[in-house]
Structure 1
Amino acid sequence: MKHQKVCDLMSDAVVRVQRGTPFKEIAHLLLEYDITAVPVVDEENRPVGVVSEADLLQKMWGQDLAGPPGHGDGPPSAGAKASATDAAGLMTSPALCAREDWSVVDAARVMARHGIKRLLVVDEGGRLIGVVSRSDLLRVFLRKDRAIRTEIIEEALVQSLGLAPSSLQVDVEHGHVVVSGRLPGEVAVSELEELCRRVDGVVAVEFSPAGEAGAEDPTTAGR
């Protein structure tokens, strides 16, 4: 099963700065473009870090977070960021990046693992080409039911399981998939359901054995 790629969903309009970009210019960019963070790139446009609103706010709270001299109660970088004047001193490094050929599942797993809202996207040479956010990934659930149904029939039933397109009835409504009919003995229900779940846009999957579903024409179901 083929998931959509990061390059299909990312935004290629990325505001970026370099290591020497001054503090005030970074603050201005965040406010002007209504963003919460900006990537820092080197001379070859490769991401080396990220400066966020929190990094800038160390100017106000950094010394307090660092605690009294000699105590080391706060983050070790708090004091340094509080005195930083450019992106090189303010940034959090290294930057978390996704490759343009990653699937949406790969990107979502990294975001969840690190508790972040977006990933920088780089090409094969490691150069910054875009950014993908949680909201971008959610767009896969806006796929039309007809497209989901077609992919389930062509990819799951025919290609993966070797079944005829009309061997099972597939209904899709608002991303909820109901497959009904009689499965051949060599195909497990769990296998069928897992293949359906791998289709982008599927919210839930249900299998109804023959005799429990209506006799709706499979050529019109899911419309």
Structure 2
Amino acid sequence: MPTIFDPFDLHGLTLPNRILLAPMTRTRASEADVPTDLMRDYYVQRASAGLMITECTEVSDQAHGIIRAPGMHRQDQVDGWRRVTDAVHEAGGRIYCQLWHCGRVSHPEIRGGELPVGPSALAASGDFYLPRGRVDFPVPRVLEESELPGIVDTFARATRMAREAGFDGVELHGANGYLQDQFLQDGSNVRSDNYGGPVENRARLLLETAQAMTEAWSPERVGVRLSPSRA
């Protein structure tokens, strides 16, 4: 019977064991959202895991929702991540990049005054951390249906950039109350268009995003994170 220390074939990617490092927000990128040497050292130290999944990595400026979170939408970010993946592979590790859009759970003070966006004009519960302290989440700007294909495209582009950066695969963050999950949940999505109402419609953005990501790389190199929770 296999143990967690036995190898595992992940659709052609051989993992030396079945221990996975789950994505954990680190807030160790630069002020410009570029991966740093500190991040490189963090992942290298954990490269003996069978597979590591990075912290949430924003796919655009609009996706920005955490101070000092890394991005995957500019060449300097690709170059920064390449230093991480090269070091991880040299240490014998395997690493996926978790791609992410924060949706409504952000704040204008870290976005140049721009409101976060979401499926409906409903503020998230809880509060948001700023350097000056914790503040309430704002009511987001509602995304127009015409904007959603562009968001899907940012995930496809980030997938291609992650491949260029040397990752072994990517994961769509569709959980934890972020954008795709916000569309899934009836607590955050009260739309009446093609992306609201029945679950088939609320799942549309996540399914379109996953499809675009697999077309940008391959189905074997794309995962989706889901969580059984209400946004």
Q: Classify the TM-score, shorter chain.
A: under 0.3
Q: Between the two structures, name the one with larger relative contact order (CA 8 Å, sep ≥ 6).
A: 1
TM-score (norm 2): 0.22
Structure of larger gyration radius: 1
TM-score (norm 1): 0.23
